[in-house]
Amino acid sequence: MLRLVGPTHGVAISPPVLLAPMQGITDRIFRDLVAPLGGVGAAVSEFVRITVAPTSRKVVRRELGPPIGIPVGLQLMTPDENHLAASVANAAAAGAAWIDLNFGCPAPVVFSKCAGSALLAHPERIARIVATAVGATGLPVTAKMRAGISSPAHLRELVCAAAEAGAAAVTLHARLRITSYDEPATWAWLAEAKSALTHCARPVPLIGNGGVECAADVARMRAATGVDAVMIGRAALADPFIFRAAAGGAPPTIAEAVGWALRYLDELGGGGPKAKQLVRYWRCAGMLDEATRSALLRGPADAIRPWFAAQASGRETVNTVSPPPTVQTTVPSR
């Protein structure tokens, strides 16, 4: 169990495996469908960005949605302390289980605004933002960050800055801001961060994130790095049952996998960019071979639900997706 301890309130997370905040993925629809599968100890929302005014209770309630049986933390992203205290207070009043602060988003548009991972160059600003949030609520406040912008040289300073400012836990994504998701995560940085947090002036738990590709990786990460909990990101979209399997449950059958995908696609309205996103990552139950994945990604988004429905009905699937006609074209070099 992971315990997040705030000034007056705490959150118990059991099992200590969390669904990561991922912009464009972990919205209310996704969380609502993953949580009942089992093995999910808690989840964190997509980030809510603080701009020219405090984040309202209405926005927080819309982001959190109805209770889903597990604690859901609200992630806030801000470049400074402006409007932060009021936003945190509104989040607490609207039902957030805890507050998570984003110091890791690598997106260029975020970085250019001196938010997200841009703050990794300023541990003193991270400390001020954490301290302001902690001072505004009795809830736990956590900090999610990467190991650095272009180097992990200041990793120990960064995690300790957040902890000593009052964070209840630190989540470390074991990549740099410049590291693509196609490159492997560096779990050695998790071990270094864990050591730093154990020996800093205010020890707090470390949640490890990055490089979890299958259920067995959860135990492997904990054994290899000493992290107190594991946060799963894109692998949850690839296989929503990964939490159940990591907790010792059975891997999904094809029928379960198809049923989940159809419910998700129905909630999305049957197609659109998120349907293509699902296909891009989907590895659940080994039901999607690479040739079919390629055909689905090249074809129209509204062909995706019928393909999954065909698997549910047991029909032959080899020719259910017709690739687009071949067109001779010249692609300019980049």
Which positions are annotated as active-site residues? 105
The C-alpha atoms of residue 118 and residue 115 are separated, in whole angstroms, by 5
* Tokens found for residue 195: 């050591």
Helix (H) or strand (E) segment spanning residue 103? strand 99-103
List, in order, residues 6 or more apart from 10 with CB less than 8 Å away. Answer: 3, 4, 140
**Positive or negative CA dihedral for 92, 96, 97, 101?**
negative
Direct distance between the N- and C-terminal alpha carbons of the chain, in angstroms, rounded to an integer: 49
The C-alpha atoms of residue 71 and residue 12 are separated, in whole angstroms, by 8
> Phi and psi (nearest 5°) for 231?
-115, 130
105-108 long-range contacts, Cβ below 8 Å, gap at least 24? 105/23, 105/47, 105/77, 106/146, 106/177, 106/178, 107/23
The C-alpha atoms of residue 7 and residue 134 are separated, in whole angstroms, by 8
* Tokens found for residue 248: 């010792």
User: How do beta strands 169-173 and 206-209 pair?
Assistant: parallel
- The residue with tokens 């609207």 is 94
